[in-house]
Amino acid sequence: MKKIPLREIAYSRSGDKGDTANIGVVPFDETDYELIKEQVTIEKVRELFGELVKGSITRYEFEGIKAINFVMENALSGGVSRSLNLDTHGKSWSNLILRLEVEVP
């Protein structure tokens, strides 16, 4: 087994609804879906994002397209209209999650 960044095997897209962010993670190769489901867990994501996410994190699965989706509450400093963040939408969060390390055969 070797450790590689998630970016090597998956891509991601993030967006906002009010103060809630969502980050979808999609493997390039559908055969990596099970591995990603096993290793890209809520715990790991919470550890990586730390205090950026103040509320709950939920993970959903898209079995058809083989993708997972994280929904993070109270995560955008109040949402696009009042947040002092430069990236008020959390568009760049997709690139943060791709830093997670995964173990591959």
Residues near other proteins (CB under 8 A):
7-8, 11, 13, 15-20, 22, 24, 26, 28, 48-52, 58, 60-65, 67, 69, 71, 78-82, 84-87, 91-93, 95-96
Q: How far is the CB of 65 from other proteins (least distance, A)?
A: 5
C-alpha span between 8 and 104 (Å, rounded): 11
Q: How far is the CB of 103 from other proteins (least distance, A)?
A: 19
> What is the SS3 assignment for the chain?
CEEEEHHHCEEEEEEEECCEEEEEEEECCHHHHHHHHHHCCHHHHHHHHHHHCCCCEEEEEECCCCEEEEEECCCCCCCCCCCCCCCCCCCCHHHHHCCCEEEEC
Nearer Cβ to other proteins, position 19 or 32?
Answer: 19
Nearer Cβ to other proteins, position 35 or 48?
Answer: 48
Q: How far is the CB of 78 from other proteins (least distance, A)?
A: 8
Q: How far is the CB of 34 from other proteins (least distance, A)?
A: 16
